[in-house]
Structure 1
């Protein structure tokens, strides 16, 4: 069944008929990565998630994550924490940098977060989750949204109750990752419960689905099959920001866009690298860019030698020269069009 799509709005933020959102991913979705995704069709993006305790302590890493740029709008700052008052105070600080919305992370499954009572841990205490969410809503004039999972484990899939409770205290959109905390990123995402939330007559806010979308045809299938208001894409965009425009083109025409050629791949990686160095400084910018090269050039034959040069050099000019050599060496080589989900062991 094909669902009619009207304009999706979060508060006064207009996102189009079926927005594609870039998921917040720790150590991935920083401003340089967000820039290449925005240029390739992402409709809305989020910061890496910000520790409320770190922000209150004025920790450099947490404060830096509040950096947003005009090209990124609309953009949300994503927060996580375990203490209601700290989350409210962190919300006030975040509001001052003028994002378009505040998002709360109730989905992060990793131990260092969940075992501290934050992220997905709140799925085990819905009253606390509701109190925390209400405090965040009251602490800002901006729209507040939430990203979460189906539940803590298979025996506690409480997302339907969560959605109703959080809507009641004022959130204006909900993104649901179709796995439990216990699943981490394993197994297949279950979108049937996401559809149940969307089809609940009590639910009036936009519902976005997240999990396993790695191709245009899968995006269209899930759009029609589950009736969500939009899709959030995470791992499939790592090293492949073109997936957003590919999905949009496929929706409109039923055809694939031509695969990004080697010049486009190298140009995206180069832009990403230069902004990374500009924003983080040369040493950190080079080091943190290393995780992206294998994804930008995934599937290239005999690429190991070039990849080793890219990840071993600490000299920006040498890295740029290697990228330029790759562009010339693989000119005319075309890889498959659609993206593939890559391994990601970070935090969402």
Structure 2
């Protein structure tokens, strides 16, 4: 998979990522060379162009197909936009209408309804989802279910979120090794803690602060489990006794520190 869509400044400064879209001849040479050099299908990710005034994604898409690229993913923003504003899908639809290879739409697909809308608007063969799945890996099953049935799945329970997250942590430790896996896990832990009705900003801050101080993978894992178990217990208690005091949110900072020390 060749990434000509990354908008990061340090990447583009090295003439990589979406900076490559500024040189169509170079794009063709790179794609042709890679396709000839490997025995597996080669795919490509691009943006709509370098800037609004340089919307050359349709040209790049034609070069890609002619070079033997097996599938194309398109983010509906220019590099100039980075991740600001809204993704546009007209360029993606135009490209899809011209190509015979599979085309994937990308950008701002953050719900089952939006997924269905983008597929209908662009006619694309598939979707690529990035930021919206951070901390929400169940988004894929929600979209799949909605596309198949037209109905939304219920959101995952806290128990399901806990179990998915703990499985994710184990996989990170196993794949990257514990030191690297633990570092990578920190950003994922922050994503899992966002945008849930039972989390307050203060409790998310406390949670991230303690998780970031964990010195071993075991401590990180145990602390995460303890956090969720405590939250699940509070939410269950609130459901059983609605009039009882309690927020149903993360344990307070003192409790978090005690859990960290115990871990």
TM-score by length of 1: 0.63
Structure 2 CA distance for partners of 1:128 and 1:316, relative to 1, 3 Å: closer
Would you say 1:111 and 2:9 are equivalent positions?
yes
TM-score, with structure 2 as normaliser = 0.82
Q: Is 1:266–1:326's contact at 8 Å kept on the other side of the alignment?
A: no
Partner residue, 2:139: 243
Give, in whole Å, the separation in 2 of the partners of 1:161 and 1:306.
47
* Alpha-carbon distance between aligned partners in 2 of 1:271 and 1:253, rounded to the nearest angstrom: 28
Residue 320 of structure 1, aligned match among 196, 215, 221:
221
How far is the alpha carbon of 1:304 from its aligned partner?
3.3
Partner of 2:44: 146
Matches within 5 A, 1:246-265: 246-265=142-161
From 175, 180, 184, the equivalent of 2:78 is 180
Q: Which has the higher strand share?
A: 1
Report the CA distance between 1:184 and its aligned residue: 0.9
Partners of 2:69 and 2:174 in 1: how far apart?
Answer: 36
Q: How does 1:196-275 map to 2 (within 5 A)?
A: 196-200=94-98, 203-275=99-171
Secondary structure of residue in 2 paired with 1:117: coil
Deviation of 1:213 (Å):
0.3
Q: Aligned-pair distance for 1:327?
A: 2.7
| Corresponding residue for residue 281 of structure 1 | 177
Identify unmatched segments of 5+ residues in structure 1: 1-102, 335-348
Distance in 1 between the 2:225 and 2:166 partners?
9
Name the counterpart of 1:134.
32
Q: Which residue of 2 aligns with 1:190?
A: 88
List alignment gaps of at least 5 residues for structure 2. 237-263
Say which structure is richer in helix. 2
Number of positions where the alignment pairs a residue of Structure 1 with one of Structure 2: 230
3-state secondary structure, aligned to 1:114: helix
Q: Which residue matches 2:63?
A: 165
Are 1:309 and 2:210 an aligned pair? yes
Q: Is the 8 A contact 2:179 2:217 kept in 1?
A: no
Cα offset, 1:329, TM superposition: 2.1
The answer (yes or no) to whether the contact 1:265–1:297 under 8 Å persists in 2 is no
Contact 2:48 2:75 in 1 (8 A): yes
* Equivalent pair of 2:93/2:124 in contact (CA under 8 Å): yes
Distance 2:146 2:78 in 1: 30
The runs of at least 4 consecutive aligned structure 1 residues that moved more than 4 Å come to none
